[in-house]
Amino acid sequence: MSVYMREDLTRNEKIQHARRILNENKHSLDAWAILIQDAQDKKIAESREFYESLVTQFPTCGKFWKIYVESEIKGRNYEKVEKLFQRCLIKVLNIDLWKCYLNYVRDTKGISPSFREKMAQAYDFALEKIGMDVYAYTIWNDYVTFLKSVDAAGSYAENQKIAAVRKVYHKGIMIPMISVEILWKDYCAYEMGINPALGKSMIEGRSRDFLNVKRVTKELETLTRAVDKNNPCVSPVSPQSTDEVKQLAAWRKLIAWERSNPLKTEDIVLVTRRVILAYEQCLLCLGYHADLWYEACAYLEQTSRTFSERGDAHLTKRFLDEASALYERAIQTYMRSNMLIYFAYADFEEHRLNIDKARSIYNRLLDVNEANLKDPTLAYIQAMRFERRTDGIKSARTIFKRAREDSRVNHQIYVAAALMEYYCTKDNNIAFNIFNLGLKKYGQNVDYILAYIDYMTHLNEDHNARVLFERVLSVDNLIAKQSQLPLWNEFLKFESQVGDLLSIKKVEKRRLAIYSDLNELEFRETLLLIDRYKFLNLLPCSNDELKLLGYKDTVMRNSSSASVTSPVVNGTAVLEQAARDRRTNLPRPDIKHLMPFRPTRNPLPGSHPTPGGVFPLPDTALYLVKVLPPPRNFEGPFVIIDELMDRMTRTAIPDTFEPVRISVQGEVIRDLDTNNNQSSRKTEHPDSDDEDHPSNMNGRGALNLYQQRQQKRVKLTTSAVNAD
């Protein structure tokens, strides 16, 4: 489904503006957020098309899938809910999405006779896929609570129940996750409640492993705090934004930590599962980074080789299949047009001797409707090499024929096919025929001509090489003079190697005429003399002398595809270059700890605004802002700060304090006048002490215990004075 959204004139101005933004930039998260909020206020029948476009644009964002699923649940479309879970649950390992799935099973399957079995299967399925997530404590705890609530009739059933609960506890307390200490305390209490003697021994046997898990959990919590697992995957821009660079660095740090085996376990399967979970959750947010896809697949392939060396064929095949599935998922989502992943995937299958599958991968890459490459030349070249390796040179020629019929290919396909014929069949005639065939189509392409000349000079075909030079540099050939310069340089190099002095001077004279027509030498023919005597990186003058002459060798060997700069530089350019060289040796300030400046038109409240932009918040404050609810969730009351401060400044504060007596229906609730309170007590009980009547000690009197004791001390002192 297309991400393009229709203009809806019945919407308010804000919604219309968001849709216009998405029509221009489909990765604008702010515009998507406005439309999501609007869709949540509608019925699912009206917003289902929008949700489909949302999950089509962001197929790995668990937050958006969860919003879509919850809208369907709200509309009681349970059949559509289950289809949505089938589409996203396995591929999107988002903890919130999986919690939503478990809540759905619990709420909708409760009346089913087989509810307990289905619920237990759902918990087992969830823990197998995402039970190692750092925020998976809720799932483990809910599963334990569910198992404890199951009624068990008879001793055998009770033992089965205890064994099931204990099994879940034993798995859960060995997984580093937030709040694992609470799960450990619950486990200890559970074991001591069943059999204290046996429970104590079991707790002591697992306490050492738990301490290791507790240590790893603290490290994992620190690393996880820097990553945002709910970030939608957007196409990276150049240069990358500061947030994306930080997220990529944080994910790489987390993955490297997982690959270092922090649990110090010898279970390779466990380590691999944890590493791949980190990779997959990373790819949910950074799916446009091809290196992450390849690293994950290469790690699985490396693990399979480890088990292959141990002779475990089952685990070897299992991890190879997982790598193949991950490659397949890559080219179906964000790597649909990435040739690097296609080539790696095809080589992977070719190494497994799945030749037909590898061939189908190349065909999918070359298909216009599948990968939609703008320039499939390299794909055709790699496909030719694949066919030559697996099926011989005839199959490679078939690919070359198919490439010639494709209007998108460039001249490199002819060079690759000719060199393949030369190196594989040792037939110069076929290679020459291919080069001549390409010359008819690319006779004005200097890069192709240089490749043809390079091939001919390596064959010691001096006569044919001169004929080719004269053919392409003739007046009849419509190559621009500026683009002819690399050809003349190559012609001079060729004559310097195989020709005599007379032929060298003839080429130099003709080349000088081209430079004169372009007005690039300014009567400094000495610069062209340097090219006669140079060899590789050896030059007849020192670097200082070359700078003084204004010679620039890198420009002389420029590709014809780019505009060729004059090899002559004036004295001002030489001085500027010398100044730049001196500046590179000067000390520079350390800018690693400077806050990056972000240009923005409307700075957000709480930022550090400056003219033209803002400086981002510190990392700790930024994390706090991200975990807080969005501003739209706060519906009031809104305090007008200026009016509040104005009222406070105009309020007159009295100099004396008058006690306030508050009563409801004649009963004293609060009395701040201590003297009146005490006199009322004396009126009610004139002949008794305070301690003799505790009923007088109400809630407020208990707070004035110090005052009561002071009054009692004064009363006793007065009585003693009167007795004297």
**585, 615, 648: which is the final residue of a domain?**
585
What pTM was computed for the model?
A: 0.71
Nearest in space to 21 (alpha carbons), one of 35, 38, 9 = 35
What integer pLDDT is reported at residue 102 of this predicted model?
94
Q: Cα(first)–Cα(last) distance of the chain, in Å?
A: 105
Instruction: State how far the Cα of 622 lies from the Cα of 124, in Å rounded to an integer.
Output: 36
DSSP letter, residue 267: -
Q: Is the peptide bond before 113 cis (omega within 30 degrees of 0)?
A: no
What integer pLDDT is reported at residue 515 of this predicted model?
77
Q: Regarding predicted confidence, which is higher, 465 or 582? A: 465
What integer pLDDT is reported at residue 598 of this predicted model?
65
Instruction: Tell me if residue 215 falls in helix, strand or coil.
Output: helix
Residues 271 and 211 in one domain: no
What integer pLDDT is reported at residue 686 of this predicted model?
45
Rounded alpha-carbon distances, angstroms, from residue 242 to 25, 237, 615: 20, 11, 11
Q: Is residue 494 part of a domain?
A: yes
Q: Is residue 359 part of a domain?
A: no
Q: Is residue 641 part of a domain?
A: no
pLDDT at 684 over 50: no
pLDDT at 491 over 70: yes
What is the number of structural domains in the chain? Answer: 5
pLDDT digits (tens, 9 = 90+) for 631-675: 777 777 778 888 888 888 888 887 776 665 555 555 555 444 444
CATH code of the domain covering residue 74: 1.25.40.10
| In 480-533, beta strands by DSSP E | none
Residues 429 and 504 in one domain: no
pLDDT at 155 over 70: yes
Q: Is residue 25 part of a domain?
A: yes
What integer pLDDT is reported at residue 618 of this predicted model?
73
DSSP letter, residue 500: -
**556, 585, 614: which is the final residue of a domain?**
585
Instruction: State how far the Cα of 23 lies from the Cα of 17, in Å rounded to an integer.
Output: 10
Domain hosting 274: range is 241-331
Q: Is residue 352 part of a domain?
A: no
Nearest in space to 341 (alpha carbons), one of 273, 287, 284, 412 = 287
Mean per-residue pLDDT of the chain: 82
Residues 218 and 260 in one domain: no
Residues 45 and 150 in one domain: yes
pLDDT class of 7 with cuts at 50, 70, 90: very low
Q: Is residue 273 part of a domain?
A: yes
The alpha carbon of residue 132 and the mean position of all alpha carbons in its chain are separated, in whole angstroms, by: 20
Residues 415 and 486 in one domain: no
Q: Is residue 667 part of a domain?
A: yes
In the structure encoding, which two tokens stand for residue 616, read together?
Answer: 């981002």
pLDDT at 605 over 70: no
What integer pLDDT is reported at residue 619 of this predicted model?
75
Instruction: State how far the Cα of 604 lies from the Cα of 613, in Å rounded to an integer.
Output: 10
What integer pLDDT is reported at residue 580 of this predicted model?
66
Q: Regarding predicted confidence, which is higher, 357 or 531? A: 357
pLDDT at 358 over 80: yes
379 neighbors 345 (Cβ within 8 angstroms): no
pLDDT class of 315 with cuts at 50, 70, 90: very high
What integer pLDDT is reported at residue 693 of this predicted model?
45
Sort 592 into a burial class: Cβ within 10 Å, 0-12 / 13-18 / 19+. exposed
pLDDT at 1 over 60: no
Q: Is residue 202 part of a domain?
A: yes
Please give the average per-residue pLDDT across 360-384, as a whole number: 89
